[in-house]
Amino acid sequence: MFIAFEGIDGAGKSTQARILYDALRQKNKVFLTKEPSEGIIGRSIKELLHRNDLSPLAMQMLFSADREEHVSKVIMPKINEGYHVISDRYVMSTLAYGIAAGIDKKRLDGICIGMPEPTMTFVLDISADKAYERLKGRGGEVHGVREPRIFGQGEGSIPGTSKGKAQLHGHRFQR
């Protein structure tokens, strides 16, 4: 099983992915990962994010290159070893943030083609104001919160993720 959590910064993706990981690992082999990855491209992306040196398309192409490496060297090997893989961000982030930056969806689809589809994708739905509050609460500088509307569209979105983490998971992943 391959599960992805998507949503804007501050939506609770990392928290919900960790809670699901903790619940599943009691009876399963589970691997928790995130994008950008800890690989060489992912580390470079993290440095570039705050500098705004690249065009939006170039940045999304880097995310896709990181994903290709991540999928081929980490995600697929883990799935092939019988692990359930949980990812904090995946393809939908490239599409959402790319479209929000004005990149044509067909162009984005082209750089995302061939990526394995998750078994499930959970989209955490939260207002930009609430996300901003959460990010400020973490301390440090907030570089801006963008709210790509694509995250709130389609099936699989989880409305009301401004609830507390225990409250949200209280009834969701009991199997």
DSSP string, 70-136: HIIIIIHHHHHTT-EEEEES-HHHHHHHHHHTT--HHHHHHHHTTPPPPSEEEEE---HHHHHHHHH
pTM higher than the cut 0.75: yes
Q: Which CATH entry fits the domain spanning 2-169: 3.40.190.10, 3.60.10.10, 3.40.50.300, 2.60.40.1250? A: 3.40.50.300
Write out pLDDT tens, residues 55-105: 999 999 999 999 999 999 999 999 999 999 999 999 999 999 899 889 999
What distances in angstroms separate CA 119 from CA 135, 161, 171, one per listed residue?
29, 21, 20
Predicted local confidence at residue 172, as pLDDT: 46
10, pLDDT greater than 80: yes
Rounded CA separation 135/146 (Å): 12
Domain ranges for the chain, please list them: 2-169
Predicted local confidence at residue 91, as pLDDT: 95
